[in-house]
Chains A and B, each alone.
Chain A
């Protein structure tokens, strides 16, 4: 069974623990500038929204790559950048409709979320449950349950 990152912006406080966890997992430093998940603060409305790659089935980045540097991790379904192959042409960053694959000046390669090999550090670090890692077929389950709970039906005796 594959899992997906599930994001509930209503629970996000903007603490950026996820960004630090992501950079620590991948680079060994606490560095939001190197994070593959970003939290956006819509100040005028008070909304905070974490955003990262949703691991498209037909991934634009993968199809656009001229050197086949993006592969599917069969176990998790994550689209993974092979750093040794990537030539830093950035075509994938143009192809991705969501902006979730980006160039890293320091390495000369691109980076994107790879689900940390099935243990996403962002979800583990999130203190409020705004980011969870759940059954890929049931990312809507929690919301369904919430609405189901509002149905005012009393059990019959």
Chain B
């Protein structure tokens, strides 16, 4: 089994919580988490729905391996239609919340409708109820967790919540669990806020059982853990440096987007890198990084726990920020740093704390600040519009805007709309470094060609977690390809996208894929889950999920035109580094990609493709 076979349906309009059996046919076709929740979502929600209307739904979903002894079994995903993109949104988080939900006996929770007043969902094993959220509405995610644990007199409760950004309509608000783990992208927290749903507090004591062949499963997990431990990236690099191990590497190869993608190398990359986080500060003799931390069940432990310099201008006289908390991951460090030209590690860490505390995506936030700085540089945003100048490289501007965005104050409201709307408002839509309205993460596609196609075709808008060809093009995993050419990339992107859909539907973390392939996950799934989970089947499941998401987007009104990159990446060559003189060749790759996918020239899956994958038109 591995699934609990039970889902919780919460009607926020009526205030009811109802248990339903899991649709096992769908589980066999879509596995769990991302895939299975997307199936439920597509069956139940009209793709044309306004993302912030009560008719949109919001699904929290675990995978069959969530909460088991398989390494990295922490994961859950939040699935909805995204307000930033108008496309399918699916954000994945670790920490401890997902496993707790599974331990309480639920594969997923489906929220529908809208509550008249702010509420939170309290789950204690089988018992689930909506509770007025008066004492936590208006609070940060940090205070929310503290208040709920105190109120219920249970320090073992796990909480997933939105902060003030989600309440105030910031379009890239995140859902934050365990203080600093987040379903970060595409505004899943905004949808939660629009439903007047503040938090989910869960205590699960039932455990995860029903493993098909427990002995074989344990053997498979032990073997797979050894692969992670023996691998240089998952066994050494990630625990020591976290994802930040990439900062200097990506800068070296000239693919670190800088100052809203004007440049591809950042002169201060070193100052905001993993190595810098390890160095002792001259001010207090302590390093920014305190320790690494694992999510539930994870034997990699890439998480960063940092402490700010108490004398730094951001937190002087603010002891509430002096404790250890979630530190910089690579994408956040890039967005808050390189994208804005800010090289102050402490300022970045503080802004990152605020992103966690009030629940908003540091990637979209940092990238939007970068866009605002370019608009200011071009004279399109004036000092009087903001209250202060928006110069590239100013740490003070970055942290001030983070505070304002967290609280929905002044110009922070505009930053909270994302770069697409901001740039359009000021007459330069092409300066938004985004796809489908979602900002790029930390890889410049002029220096890593495959990522251009991966971004353009990502079902949730620009994203590194839908097809991470960086692994192959830069790190040589599983095989090295040349990052500067387009040849072979369509097939590479498709392979990564389909495999990733399986990882994201299993309950396990995508970061295992630095060491694992599907062949390492397959024995764990096959021994845990009833039914046949052969490699052949998993390949089809991954492709089926990808095409289902695509169908949703097409039904939502997205077209081939949305599978594109901003003009800058196609016309302004990289100025420095190994990719100097190159633009991204997305136009060359896209037709071949459509063909490989079995889609027509407009990017629509053909009848044969749908038939082969068991999807209806």
Contacts and interface: CB of A to CB of B under 8 A. Distances in A.
A155 interface: no
A14 B205 contact: no
A30 interface: yes
A123 B292 CA distance: 20
Contacts of B305: 46
Contacts of A31: 103, 205-209
Nearest to A21: B69
A33 B229 contact: no
Given A33-B207, A43-B179, A16 B296 contact: yes
B205 A34 contact: yes
B246 interface: no
Given A13-B301, A21-B69, A31-B103, A46 B324 contact: yes
A71 to B, nearest CB: 27
B290 interface: yes
Interface residues of B, number: 36
A27 B207 contact: yes
Given A15-B301, A17-B299, A43 B225 contact: no
Contacts of B207: 23, 27, 29-31, 33-34
A24 interface: yes
Contact of B214 (A28, A43, A45): A28
Contacts of A44: 323-324
A33 B158 CA distance: 13
B68 A15 contact: no
Contact of B307 (A15, A17, A34, A46): A46
B291 interface: yes
A30 B293 contact: no
Contacts of A43: 179, 323-325
Interface in B234-279: 239
Contacts of B103: 31-33
Interface residues of A, number: 26
A17 B297 contact: yes
B67 A15 contact: no
Interface in B282-310: 290-299, 301, 305, 307
Q: Is the interface of B mostly helix, strand, loop or mixed?
A: loop
B204 interface: yes
A30 B294 contact: no
A34 B323 CA distance: 31
A59 interface: no
A30 B71 CA distance: 13
A13 B298 CA distance: 9
Contact of A30 (B68, B239, B307, B324): B68
A127 interface: yes
A140 B413 CA distance: 57
A61 interface: no
A86 interface: no
A30 B67 contact: yes
A109 interface: no
A32 B68 CA distance: 10
Nearest to A23: B207
B229 A17 contact: no
Given A44-B324, A127-B229, A30 B299 contact: no
Nearest to B292: A13
A20 B293 contact: no
A44 B71 CA distance: 26
Given A17-B69, A24-B69, A46-B293, A33 B204 contact: yes
Contacts of A128: 301
A24 B218 CA distance: 10
A51 B291 CA distance: 19
Contact of B293 (A13, A24, A27): A13
B69 A125 contact: yes
B68 A46 contact: no
A15 B297 contact: yes
B324 A45 contact: yes
B323 A45 contact: yes
Contacts of A29: 206-209
B323 A30 contact: no
B298 A15 contact: yes
Contacts of A32: 99, 103
A46 B323 CA distance: 8
Nearest to A41: B293
Given A13-B301, A14-B293, A30 B205 contact: no
Interface string A35-63: 00000000111111000000000000000
A23 B291 CA distance: 27
Contacts of A23: 207
Interface in B189-226: 204-209, 214, 218, 225
Given A31-B207, A43-B324, A48 B68 contact: no
The winner among A23, A24, A43, A47 for most chain B CB atoms within 10 A is: A43
A46 B297 contact: no
Interface in B83-125: 96, 99, 103
Given A13-B293, A44-B324, A47-B291, 8 more contacts: A13-B239, A15-B298, A28-B209, A28-B214, A33-B156, A34-B205, A45-B324, A46-B293
Interface of B: 67-69, 71, 96, 99, 103, 156, 179, 204-209, 214, 218, 225, 229, 239, 290-299, 301, 305, 307, 323-325
Interface of A: 13-17, 20-21, 23-24, 27-34, 43-48, 125, 127-128
8 contacts: A13-B294, A13-B298, A17-B69, A23-B207, A24-B218, A31-B103, A34-B207, A128-B301
CB-based closest 9 A-B pairs: A31-B207, A29-B207, A15-B294, A33-B205, A46-B324, A13-B301, A44-B323, A29-B209, A13-B294
